[in-house]
Amino acid sequence: MLFERMTIAEIAEYLDQKEELGPEEEASLRTDNRRGAADLLGRFFRRKNKRLQEEARLQKMLAEEKNLWEKGFTAVAGVDEAGRGPLAGPVVAAAVIFSPGTLIIGLNDSKQLSRPARERIFDQVVYNALCYSIASASCEEIDRFNIHAASLLAMRRALEKLPFSPDYVLVDGFKIKDSPFKQKAIKGGDCLSLSIAAASVLAKVSRDAIMADLHRKYPFYDFVRNKGYGTPEHQQALLEHGPCPEHRRSFRLVY
C-alpha cells in the first residue's frame, strides 16, 4: 500500500486495525517525509511491543496449565475464592476451565485490577471460558465451620457446579479437602496461574454484587463501599446499630 496517497488520519485508522506490518508497508512509512507518518510508525511499534510483553506475561502465567495439557489433561480448572477477611457477607468461589491457548489481555489477580478492569475482564472470561461456575458459603456456614473450612466448601461447590468435571484442578493456597479431583495447591496462585486468576476475578466481581444487594437491605453499614470489610465507618455502624443477620458472629465484632 502506498501510504503517501493517504492522509495522516487515514493512516492512523489503518494502523489501528493492524497487528503486523509487511516490509513494503513499513518501508513506505519510513520514507514518508511527513512528521505525522513517523509518529504513527513509532506509536505502532510501541503498541506492538506492549502487546508482545503482555502476551509473554500471560504465557508465563499459563505454565502450570501447559504442563498439564502436555501430559494429556484436557479440562484443567482454576479455582479461587473472595471474601475471607470481611466481617459480613458470604465467601464466594469460582471455577474456570479454558481451552488450550486461550489468552485474555489484562487478566491478572483480581486484587491487582481496578473495579472497571475487573468488570470488563469478568465479561471476557465468561465469554471465552470453556466453562465456569460460581458458588458460595453463607455467613452461617462460616460461623459453623470457620472461615477456612467455609472457603474450601465454597470452592468445592464451584467445582461441583461446573457443566462437566475437570480432570485436574489448580487451586489458590490450599488443597480442597474431600475433593474427588486431582489437584495442586499453588501459594499465590492468583498471580501465577491464568485459570486461577480468572476464577479470582469471577469470585470478586460476584461477591461485590452480592454486597451491593445487601447494602440495599442493610444500608446502615455501607456494604456497597466497604464490601463487608472492617473499615472505621463500618465499625462505627456496628457500635450504633449492632450486627445484622449477614455479620459473621465468629469474627471479632465490636458492638
What's the CATH number of domain 63-214, 3.90.25.10, 3.40.50.410, 3.30.420.10, 1.10.3720.10? 3.30.420.10
Average pLDDT, whole number, for the chain? 94
pLDDT at residue 18, rounded to an integer:
86
Average pLDDT over residues 55-69: 96
- How many other C-beta atoms lie within 10 A of the C-beta of residue 114? 8
- How many other C-beta atoms lie within 10 A of the C-beta of residue 141? 17
pLDDT at residue 1, rounded to an integer:
55
Q: Hey, where are the domains in the chain?
A: 3-60, 63-214
> What letter represents residue 83's amino acid?
G
pLDDT of 208-238, one tens digit each? 999 999 999 999 999 999 999 999 999 999 9
- Residue that is written with C-alpha cell 519510513 in the block: 30
d(CA 86, CA 189): 21
pLDDT at residue 153, rounded to an integer:
97
Question: 252 versus 133: which is more confidently predicted?
Answer: 133
pLDDT at residue 20, rounded to an integer:
86
Instruction: Please give the model's pTM, rounded to 2 decimal places.
Output: 0.88
At residue 87, does pLDDT exceed 90?
Answer: yes
pLDDT of 1-28, one tens digit each? 568 788 999 888 889 888 888 888 888 8
- What whole-number percentage of the chain has pLDDT above 70? 99
Closest C-alpha among 143, 138, 171 to residue 154: 138
The number of CA neighbours under 13 Å toward the Cβ of 194 is 30
